Each structure stands twice: as C-alpha cells, then as structure tokens.
C-alpha cells in the first residue's frame, strides 16, 4: 500500500466529479453551506487522491480500505471520520484511500501486491472484476441503491413519469456503465422506443440544462443536485429512477454500489470483514439519520463539492446497508436484469454463488 507522506488532515483532496462507469460526475459550483456539524468535520478538500494518516513502519492496518468519491462513498463518511478522529469507536484499525475513479480501485484490488483489502465500487464493476479475476473478489455488502434522476429544464413541469419521456431526447451520463443500462431497461419496460439518448459528460449536460439547450437529462446525485441548485428554479427533478424501477415490481432492486473484498483477505481474516461490516452499517445509519452533520463530513472528505450540496444529495442517494441473504437476493436479480440488456454489462456471464460472502 502507498504510504502517505503527510497526515490526512493536511492532505485531503477535493475530487472532481466526472461520471464514467458510474463514478462521480462533475457537479457544478457550491451551494449554500449546511447547518453547523455536531462534531469535528473531516479534512478540508484540496486536489487529488486522499489517504489516511501514515502508520509506523512496523504497524500494519487491520483493513486497507478504499472508497470511491461521489455517491458510492457517501455512506462511509462517518467511518472515515472515526479513523481520523475517534478510532476507539471502530471495531477494526483502518488505513484508507479515497479514489476518484473505479479503475484506481480495480488496480488496487488486483495484481501480485494489492494495495486494498476492501473497496466500495460500482455494482457492475464488482461483477466484472469477479469474472475477470476468476473469483478474486467477493461482494460482502450493498451500500447504495439508485442515485439516478431525470431532470427537466425551462421551468416546465411536463415530465412527471416515464411515459412523459415519449419522443424526447435525453442527455445522459454514464455510457457503457450502470446508468446507461438502467436507462435503457426502464425505457424498454415502459414501451418507449422513440426516445433518443445522447451521451455526454456530466459537466456538459449540466451546462446544456442551464442554457435550455437540453430539455431533459439523466444525471446522478450529487451532479443532479448541483445542477438544480445552480439553476435558480430553471431545472427541476422530474423522475427519481429508483422509484421508476420499483414501480415495475419485477422483484429486483436498483443497486448502484457494491462493497467488495479480496477473496484472499476474506479467507484469511473473516473477523476483520465482520468488523468492517459493523462499522460500515453504523456509518450509513449515521449519515442517513444526521444529514446536517454528515453533510459537513461528506464535503470535508471531497465526496461532494460542498456541504450544501451534500445536504441536498444525501436523502437522494438511497443509502442502504444490505448483507447476507438479503444482499444476494437483491443484487443477483439486478445482475439478471443487466445481463438481459447486455451480457457485456456483467462481464459476459452471470456470476455464480461464489461471488457472495455470507459471513
């Protein structure tokens, strides 16, 4: 693992939001700050990846954790704060890295000398990595459900359901990843064959929404949240795609984030995996239940551009902790849906039961 050279409180870096393979998007300028946090906030963001304080040369962390910036990492904010400010509150020792891109996590989980033991990744990345490494990782939990939203510009309110998208052009981020597959599936299931999808990066889409060039678009939070905040009422949230997915009643859940662990780590240290799950579940609960305080932490670790945006985005992230049999049921059905859209979305084949760690 890379040894950080300065304490995390001096080195934390602000991460730009560009969505690709369901990674965070460019999210626009800061909104007004949220209410004052109830505890010491995390490190102030600067620029680049973030790592936890360095350990003594003879000290090994219990868990080398990697968190993806953006909605995938939001639920871990309180855990990161515990590492920096209250390690006694945690059930394991941690060294952490905040990554800007799924590719960084894939590289850190694989190879002869992996840098990470556990990581939060996009759910489609998890299954592709499992197939690519022939079982080199296991899914140990689900952390985020859907974070995708259809936005409408122009101050209108003509789009309120999937049916209202008929004949529209939708600007969308996330080509070749979860967002594209989710959008195509929802359009298909709602019988919408006359919708044109134009893929672009999140910053370009936000600009088109604000200028009125794009009537509607699909963005994840916090990019969607930032676009709405910046528009001064000209852009609105029209459809929560998690709700649209649930309305199909197909038995699956929209799962955007999976937590994976290296198979070797799971086999050698099952007690540490259990300890992480306890800490991660508590972190998600804290973020959901303490939005004002959590928004300061989320912004402080560079997971969103500002506390104001974090405060608006957290309720829309659908943060959830799911493990064990419930995890298997929810995400396996989701993978079946992805496979039906495009087998390449899950690495060409549905995973076997070995992908799941049941404890």
- Axis crossing angle, helix 270-289 with helix 291-300, rounded to the nearest 10: 120
23-65, pLDDT tens digit by residue?
333 333 333 222 222 333 333 333 344 555 444 344 566 999 9
CA 44 – CA 9 distance, rounded (Å): 7
pLDDT of 154: 83
pLDDT of 7: 37
Q: Inform me whether the pLDDT recorded for 356 exceeds 80.
A: yes
Name the β-bridge partners of 148.
220
pLDDT of 50: 56
pLDDT of 250: 84
Scanning the structure block, which residue is given the tokens 């849906």?
A: 337
Q: Looking at residues 277-288, what average pLDDT do you find?
A: 98
Q: What percent of the chain shows pLDDT beyond 90?
A: 75
The per-residue pLDDT of the chain, averaged, comes to 85
Closest CA to 256 of 217, 281, 221: 221
pLDDT of 30: 31
Residue 252 pLDDT level (bands cut at 50, 70, 90)? confident
Strand blocks (E) in the chain: 50-51, 63-68, 94-99, 118-122, 137-144, 148-153, 169-172, 196-199, 216-220, 235-240, 257-262, 319-322
Per the model's pLDDT, the better-predicted residue between 298 and 45 turns out to be: 298
**Can you read off the two tokens belonging to residue 156?**
């209108």
Q: Inform me whether the pLDDT recorded for 254 exceeds 60.
A: yes
pLDDT of 294: 98
pLDDT of 135: 96
148-200, pLDDT tens digit by residue?
999 999 877 899 999 999 999 999 999 988 999 999 999 999 999 999 999 99
State the pTM of this model: 0.81
Q: Inform me whether the pLDDT recorded for 352 exceeds 90.
A: yes
């Amino acid at each position: 693992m890379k040894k950080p050279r300065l304490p995390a409180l001096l080195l934390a870096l602000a991460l730009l939001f560009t969505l690709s393979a369901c990674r965070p998007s460019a999210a626009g300028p800061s909104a007004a700050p949220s209410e004052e946090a109830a505890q010491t906030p995390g490190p102030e963001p600067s620029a680049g990846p973030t790592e936890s304080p360095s350990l003594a040369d003879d000290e090994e962390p219990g868990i080398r954790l990697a968190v993806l910036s953006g909605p995938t990492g939001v639920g871990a904010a309180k855990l990161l704060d515990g590492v920096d400010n209250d390690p006694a509150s945690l059930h394991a020792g941690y060294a952490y890295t905040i990554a800007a891109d799924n590719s960084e996590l894939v590289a850190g989980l694989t190879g002869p000398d992996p840098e990470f033991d556990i990581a939060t990744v996009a759910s489609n990345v998890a299954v592709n990595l499992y197939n690519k490494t022939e079982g080199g990782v296991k899914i140990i939990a689900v952390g985020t459900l859907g974070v995708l939203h259809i936005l409408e510009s122009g101050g209108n309110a003509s789009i309120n359901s999937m049916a209202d998208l008929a004949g529209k052009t939708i600007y969308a981020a996330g080509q070749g990843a979860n967002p594209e597959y989710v959008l195509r599936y929802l359009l298909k299931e709602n019988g919408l064959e006359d919708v044109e999808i134009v893929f672009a990066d999140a910053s370009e889409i936000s600009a088109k929404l604000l200028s009125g060039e794009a009537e509607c678009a699909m963005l994840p939070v916090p990019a969607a949240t930032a676009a709405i905040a910046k528009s001064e009422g000209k852009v609105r949230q029209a459809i929560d795609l998690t709700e649209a997915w649930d309305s199909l009643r197909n038995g699956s859940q929209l799962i955007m984030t999976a937590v994976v662990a290296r198979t070797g780590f799971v086999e050698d240290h099952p007690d540490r995996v259990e300890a992480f799950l306890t800490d991660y579940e508590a972190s998600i609960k804290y973020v959901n239940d303490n939005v004002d305080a959590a928004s300061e932490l989320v912004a402080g670790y560079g997971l969103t551009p500002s506390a104001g945006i974090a405060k608006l985005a957290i309720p829309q992230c659908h943060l959830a902790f799911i493990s064990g049999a419930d995890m298997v049921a929810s995400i396996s059905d989701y993978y079946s849906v992805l496979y039906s859209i495009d087998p390449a979305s899950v690495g060409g084949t549905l995973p076997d039961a070995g992908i799941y760690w049941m404890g």
